[in-house]
Amino acid sequence: MLGLIINEPGNLELKKFPTSPSLKGDEVKVKLIYGGICGSDIGVFKGKFAHASYPIRPGHELLGTIIEVGSDAKYGVGTKIVVQPNSYCGECDLCLKGKTNICRHKQSLGVNTDGGFAEEFVISSKYVLPIPDEMPDERAVLIEPFAVIVHAFRKVTITKDTSVAVIGCGTEGMLAIALATYLGADITAIDISQEKLDKVKSFGKIKTAHPDEVGDGNFDVVIEAAGAKQSVEQAMHIAGSGGSVVLIGITPEANFPAVRVVRNELTVYGSIIYNFPDDFETTLEYLKQDDFYVEPIISEIIPFKEYERAYEAAVSGKYGKIVLNFKEDGNQ
């Protein structure tokens, strides 16, 4: 069985692994179809996460088919599934409040426990969600990254004509634009890359701007998806009175304009991953809608044996989602 492994930061290789031993309890063995490369995979590859452990198998945006089941597995052989890649204990005070996304014992696939970029992997069936067979693989592989946006949008109210600014037009930014478009919002997309701004215009009537072109204090809701100090600071300046800022990008520090937040009654939310299964189920419902448009989000689907090229493309930051293809024939 072939799988990727990061031996240490910057050192990625494709390696032969023994096939996993027989399954226990509720475990299932999954044959991978597609694996999306995420910003956090790149963070682990570059050695940017203090909580990452090495060697580690990367990959957490996983779509596959169950090929073997343990005696207590929740789903049967042949079920197409996506993976919820962050474990939670279900018993700590935060889990008991329904906040499984910030469980005190959380472990994340591909960060501090082995991920799924391999022809096959084993996981507890507690962490998989069945997908209708008729859903195209290219949509289903977006469920995990899109659930991040669905979770973030629950913090605020976005309906028809709500003015929404999305800062950062990478994968998460584009997914935010896709959902805000579907909800009928009045959207301004902000990015330093003209190429990315040109791309998001295909979502519909989207206004686009370089960060320098956006004035202070206009928007009802600002979604920060760039994960840069300047964009976090800009988010709090372009939110209008009574407005909300949702931070989903990861940046260590930024200046906090306290007076502006107080005088304008701004609400600032942090939002991290998602709750399972609620956010995944809502995400699946959106993706089932034919008029929910996500086509521009995946930039390229690359056979997994060309992982070096795929990682190079993902590391460059120039593209949308790069997906590894694990199907046997290598075809889409």
Output the CA angle 89-90-95, nearest 5 degrees: 105
When the beta carbons of 80 and 321 are compared against Zn ion, the nearer one is 321
Q: Which residues contact 166 (CB under 8 A, 6 or more apart)?
A: 173, 176, 177, 180, 187, 188, 189, 190, 223, 225
Applying CB under 5 A, which part among 5-13, 71-79, 140-148, 229-237 lies near Zn ion?
Answer: 140-148
Applying CB under 5 A, which part among 14-22, 93-101, 108-116, 127-135 lies near Zn ion?
Answer: 93-101
User: Quick check: 325 and 303 in contact, CB under 8 A?
Assistant: yes
Lay out the site mask for Zn ion across 48-67 (x = CB under 5 A, - = otherwise). -------------x------
Q: Cβ atoms within 10 A of the Cβ of 114, count?
A: 20
Least gap, CB of 205 to Zn ion (angstroms): 28
When the beta carbons of 238 and 314 are compared against Zn ion, the nearer one is 314
Q: Scanning the structure block, which residue is given the tokens 């902000």?
A: 190
- Of 12, 33, 81, 95, the residue at the interface with Zn ion (CB under 5 A) is 95
Applying CB under 5 A, which part among 65-73, 142-150, 169-177, 284-292 lies near Zn ion?
Answer: 142-150
Least gap, CB of 31 to Zn ion (angstroms): 21
The three-state secondary structure class of 136 is coil
Lay out the site mask for Zn ion across 11-50 (x = CB under 5 A, - = otherwise). ---------------------------x------------
- Of 12, 28, 37, 103, the residue at the interface with Zn ion (CB under 5 A) is 103
DSSP state letters, 266-328: -EEEE--S--TTHHHHHHHHHHHSTT---GGGEEEEEEGGGHHHHHHHHHHT-SSEEEEE--T
Least gap, CB of 105 to Zn ion (angstroms): 5
Output the CA angle 281-283-286, nearest 5 degrees: 115
Q: Scanning the structure block, which residue is given the tokens 């959380």?
A: 106
- Residues in contact with Zn ion by the rule CB under 5 A: 38, 61, 88-89, 92, 95, 103, 145
